[in-house]
Structure 1
């Protein structure tokens, strides 16, 4: 009996590893997904000046909800599902201007996008303590 069971388990493991979608169908809970992607909110209409330490890993907030701007505090997990922080490691100590509007084309660094009309005219949501 143990030989038959071992062969069955071996076949299942081999098939699952070759076709990982099988495992996701078996183990993944059913969830309802939003059809609309999360959009970042504008945290600041200006870049944020920060001193970066070379070799240290940083997590830049991409959603705009973090209370520790420009860095992530995990707020995306409940307020902007689908957005994740951008992790980066500067090569050397430096002072940098990180994007506060979250629409830069050179993340996490400011590229001047905040000067465009859609950023200038946007309302910045008030920070709440929730």
Structure 2
């Protein structure tokens, strides 16, 4: 039996460092097709993916996953090193 689960595109094999603001909500691109990586621009519409809501707990730098394979979505967990 083959796995028919759709896989996201991989826009880059490294995280995106982003300065975030405490309490602000961001929508991480899950499909990998957005032109505004790492955030959603709506290119997923009609597909199997939807953006992931992320609200920053504190001001500072967050490392958003660029390979779209993280186990800590939307933040990078280093899985890109195995691609």
Q: Superposed, which structure 2 residues align to 1:1-130 within 5 Å? A: 36-78=4-46, 81-116=47-82, 119=83
Aligned residues: 80
Equivalent position SS for 1:115: helix
TM-score (norm 2): 0.90
State the alpha-carbon separation in 1 of the partners of residues 6 and 24 from structure 2. 28
Aligned-pair distance for 1:96?
Answer: 1.1
Q: Deviations over 1:89-129 (max 9, x none)?
A: 0111120111000000000111000000xx2xxxxxxxxxx
- Show structure 1 runs of 4+ deviating over 4 A: none
TM-score (norm 1): 0.59
More helix per residue: 1
- Which ranges of structure 1 fall in alignment gaps of 5 or more residues? 1-35, 120-130
More relative contact order in 1 or in 2 (CA 8 Å, sep 6+)? 2
- Which ranges of structure 2 fall in alignment gaps of 5 or more residues? none
Equivalent position SS for 1:77: coil
State the alpha-carbon separation in 2 of the partners of residues 106 and 90 from structure 1. 14
More strand per residue: 2
Structure label with greater radius of gyration:
1
